[in-house]
Chain A
Amino acid sequence: MATLALNDISVQFGGLQALSEVTFTLHPGSIMGLIGPNGAGKTTVFNVITGVYRTSGGSATYDGASILGRRPHEVLAMGVARTFQNIRLFQNMSALENVMVAQHCRTKAKVLAAVLRSPAQRREEARIREKALEALEFMGLGDKAYEVASNLPYGLQRRLEISRALASEPSTILLDEPAAGLNPAESYGLMESIRRITTRGVNVLMVEHDMKVVMGVCDAIVVLDHGVKISEGKPEEIQRDPAVIEAYLGN
């Protein structure tokens, strides 16, 4: 477990200030929600953390080490995995293969070992399978391992994305609208799964619009509006915060 700390993070796209001096800390063992109206900069925060966007100011550390300026695959290797708002599975690959890809950064067999099928490579492949199947099982997809990803129903594709992220053995997972497009029963199941994720020793930072989900599972919530953090606190505090109510409903 490790602490993810963002300090005065700013991001600029041309003249648009997407994030200005956002600061928050994700503590080990917690589930944090990141909410805000559309265009508030929630996904931008994820893209900054995972190395997709460059910042124009501020610092971010993970487990004490700076996380900025790294390539996305290096960030994953540090232990921060993510899912996507619009599902980005490897559509033509089976569910199992999707999840096995996530083990790439934790394994190291080279070309020669693969061509010669060296004993070490065979052992490694077996371990990759084992880890991948475990991750599928964890999200309740054990029986779908050999289905092509694009053939899975929408709700299961969301779950598959989470198990793919979990298979990279992260210590922090960023969920981008995991409940989007799910029916109430599926959302409820998802809340259960998110709570169980923390029992694996994984912190959760999630962007979500479904307030029932956010209020139901999060220990702490950060509210963004127009790239500025307007509130931070426990769910019940956020619900009463006038600034938050104004951002969502206007005055």
Chain B
Amino acid sequence: MGWFFLILWPLLGIRADGLFFAQTFSIWIKVVAACAIVLVLAQLHRAGRLEWVSRPVQALGSKVQAAYAVSPKWLLATIMLALAVAYPFLTSRYGQDVAINVLVYICLGLGLNIVVGLCGLLDLGYIAFYGVGAYTYALLSIHYDFSFWLSLPAAGVLAAAAGCIIGYPTLRMRGDYLAIVTLGFGEIVRLILNNWMSLTNGPNGILGIKAPGAWVPDFARGLSLEHVWLTRPKELYFVILGLAVFTILAVYRLNYSRIGRAWEAIREDETAAELMGVNTFLLKLLSYAMGAVFGGLAGAFFAAKMRFVSPESFTFLESAMVLAMVVLGGLGSIPGVILGVLALIALPEVFREFEMYRMLVFGGAMTLMMVVKPRGLWPAKRFGKRSEEE
């Protein structure tokens, strides 16, 4: 605890409006108390004194798992979808905003999951594709007045093209080298957005992007259709829900196809995959491009929702966050990535009361997670009838 104290004491005393070292002890007491409780619980658990709690919990867990295994997939999917559709009617504007955020990151996380989880390529510049998608819609919207729905495929295609451009020179590298080069390319994209004043308006960003439009039947005037702009969170929620469902379905189906198997083979042993007939270069490029597509779609939505884009939204920290979601949730696992996103977006919202110590709790929770469940919250199923799942 000594070193922890040494590190934390000065950190906790620094605030925007001055130094408050005297107050840090009040925080410290809480940290120490929390650690002590965790330690006592861990010791009790090790000594077997907590069986009266852990046994029923375990029994419940295995029952839930058994029920999950028995119940048909479509039923679970329908229930989940019904809950997702009902959600905005039961929550406030704030809740809807958080949910939109969660869904955007689900798209991003699942896109990155193709590259990192399935193909095993560490990509530290993934957010660049999010940026490409966002700027594609932003520019098409303000210069050419393109509708959101038309720009969506354009954003996907351009992001895929960016993925190929970045992937072509970098994918000859493996492992750590690839990670560093992707980090560099991510920054290059951000710097281009930041400095190409004539196209992107630089750090000032682009204002006046149109929201997604929709035609709704207007019953008051007979059966005519009325054009509305989807600007309220409740409406935007359904747009991104559709995108997220499409992403989940597409990634799932890709995973259980010959392409997904080839990606996983590359992750497991690239040389063996090549020798077993997988064109590894082409498939790695494809994984990059496919990951970029979903990032680009999410980016277009982001631009439509904020109606403003600036390079600040596409920093390395964002890439790191998305990667953390994928790793925390479980590499290669779709439910895992969704859980990871919930853990990193929704939980910090729950802990808003901690305010400035939020990041401390966040870091601690992540460290604990990686110690307790190193393969993620919901590890990818790698056994049983995995390839038979429909």
Contacts and interface: CB of A to CB of B under 8 A. Distances in A.
Q: Do A and B come from one complex?
A: yes
A96 B387 CA distance: 8
A144 to B, nearest CB: 12
A102 B254 contact: no
B278 A92 contact: no
Nearest to B380: A92
B277 A105 contact: yes
Q: How large is the interface on A (under 10, 10 to 19, 20 to 34, 35 or more residues)?
A: 35 or more
A104 interface: yes
Interface string A105-123: 1110111001101000100
B386 interface: yes
A235 interface: no
Interface stretch (A37-45, A72-80, A187-195, A209-217): A72-80
Given A114-B254, A115-B253, A125-B257, A93 B275 contact: no
B382 A94 contact: yes
Interface in B22-38: none
Contacts of A111: 254, 259, 286, 290
B265 interface: yes
Contact of A94 (B250, B260, B387): B387
A121 B275 contact: no
B253 to A, nearest CB: 5
Contact of B265 (A101, A146, A168): A101
Interface in B267-308: 268-269, 271-280, 286, 290
A96 B383 CA distance: 10
Contacts of B388: 146
The prevalent SS among residues of B at the interface is helix
Interface in B16-54: none
Interface in B336-390: 382-388
A97 interface: yes
Nearest to B268: A90
A186 interface: no
A100 B387 contact: yes
Given A96-B387, A117-B253, A148 B382 contact: yes
A240 interface: no
Contacts of B382: 92-94, 148
Contacts of A124: 258
A158 interface: no
Given A94-B387, A115-B253, A146-B385, A101 B269 contact: no
A104 B261 contact: yes
B279 A101 contact: no
Contact of A146 (B249, B258, B274, B384): B384
A42 to B, nearest CB: 17
Interface residues of B, number: 33
Interface string B106-148: 0000000000000000000000000000000000000000000
Contact of A77 (B254, B262, B277): B277
B276 A101 contact: yes
Interface string A54-78: 0000000000000000011100110
A100 B384 CA distance: 15
Given A94-B387, A115-B250, A52 B277 contact: no
Nearest to A110: B259
A73 B257 contact: no
B262 A104 contact: yes
Residue from A102, A104, A106, A107 with most neighbouring chain B CB atoms (10 Å): A104
Given A101-B276, A111-B286, A93 B264 contact: yes
A103 interface: yes
B386 A97 contact: yes
A109 B277 contact: no
A104 B282 CA distance: 13
Contact of A71 (B262, B268, B274, B286): B274
Contacts of A151: 383
Contacts of A109: 257-259
A19 to B, nearest CB: 19
A114 B257 contact: yes
B254 A115 contact: yes
Nearest to A75: B275
A106 B387 CA distance: 19
B258 A103 contact: yes
Nearest to A132: B387
A155 B1 CA distance: 50
A76 B275 contact: yes
Given A90-B265, A91-B268, 5 more contacts: A92-B264, A103-B258, A114-B254, A146-B383, A164-B276
30 contacts: A52-B275, A84-B272, A88-B269, A90-B265, A90-B268, A90-B269, A90-B273, A93-B261, A93-B382, A97-B264, A101-B261, A101-B265, A101-B276, A102-B277, A104-B276, A104-B277, A105-B278, A109-B258, A110-B259, A111-B286, A114-B253, A114-B257, A114-B260, A121-B257, A125-B258, A128-B258, A146-B388, A148-B383, A168-B276, A168-B277
Interface of A: 50, 52, 71-73, 76-77, 81-82, 84, 88-94, 96-97, 100-107, 109-111, 114-115, 117, 121, 124-125, 128, 146-148, 151, 164-165, 168
